[in-house]
Amino acid sequence: GDSVTQMEGPVTLSEEAFLTINCTYTATGYPSLFWYVQYPGEGLQLLLKATKADDKGSNKGFEATYRKETTSFHLEKGSVQVSDSAVYFCALSEGGSNYKLTFGKGTLLTVNP
Amino acid sequence: EAQVTQNPRYLITVTGKKLTVTCSQNMNHEYMSWYRQDPGLGLRQIYYSMNVEVTDKGDVPEGYKVSRKEKRNFPLILESPSPNQTSLYFCASRPGTAQPQHFGDGTRLSIL
């Protein structure tokens, strides 16, 4: 079945550091890929998405590129802020009638001033 | 404001006492879904609904029931809760195929 493997956390960075959170996936078809962010005490918010190979999703300075050849969707940001501290989830959906999201386990990011 | 609303946000209860977590969305979405979030496991789908009166099992449906009598509401029912159902629960909805899901703020259940 489908699965998502993302970098184990926690990740601790200083403000303005470069961020990479690795995400690789296994799927039988051609999934859509997502990054969701969960701030403390809140639900999940869609951060960015990509629906086909070589698509780049971007939002709030974060980027991720859908790499079919390496089955990866790594999240990057050039300069993190304290306000980026949250749990980040990589997810995929194969479509079909359910369009279920299959999530990775999440990566806790803490950014220190 | 477009939103998915869950109630209650927090609940502590005892084994065997039936409970219902409500979920309501104001975006006229056809698709709704329930997930549970557990440490080290990420989020896993419990049940989903494609439309009114159409529901189906997700990956971890045991011990749960759902109903979809109206488009906006999708309650999660625990008929006889057990401690292994202690978790953080999220309701989600989406407007159509290939559209991202919108999540509620979560319900933290503790079953003693």
d(CA A107, CA A86): 8
Q: A4 to chain B: which residues are within 8 Å by CB? A: 42
Query: Chain B window 37-66: which residues touch A at a Cβ cutoff of 8 Å?
Result: 40-45, 48, 50, 56, 58-59
Of B50, B58, B92, the CB nearest to A97: B50
Q: What is the DSSP letter of B26?
A: S
Per-residue model confidence (pLDDT) at position A98:
67
Say if A44 is an interface residue toward chain B (CB within 8 Å).
yes
A60 pLDDT exceeds 80? yes
CA A73/CA A26 separation, integer angstroms: 11
pLDDT band for position B39 (50/70/90)?
A: confident
Tokens of A82: 């304290």
H-only helix segments in A10-103: none
pLDDT at A42 over 80: yes
Nearest to A84 by CA among A22, A29, A27, A11: A11
What percentage of residues in chain B have a pLDDT greater than 90?
Answer: 83
Residue linked to tokens 């698709």 = B31
Can you give the pLDDT at residue A64? 98
Using alpha carbons, select from A86, A104, A99, A5 the residue that is nearest to residue A40: A86
**Max CA separation in chain A (angstroms):** 45
A29 at B interface, C-beta within 8 A: no
Give the torsion sign (CA, B10, A42, A6, A100). positive
Please give the angle made by the CA atoms of B35, A87 and A13, to the nearest 5 degrees: 170
Amino acid B97: pLDDT = 65
**How many Å separate Cα B95 from the centre of its chain?**
17
Q: What is the mean pLDDT of residues B31-55?
A: 92
Alpha helices in chain A (DSSP H): none
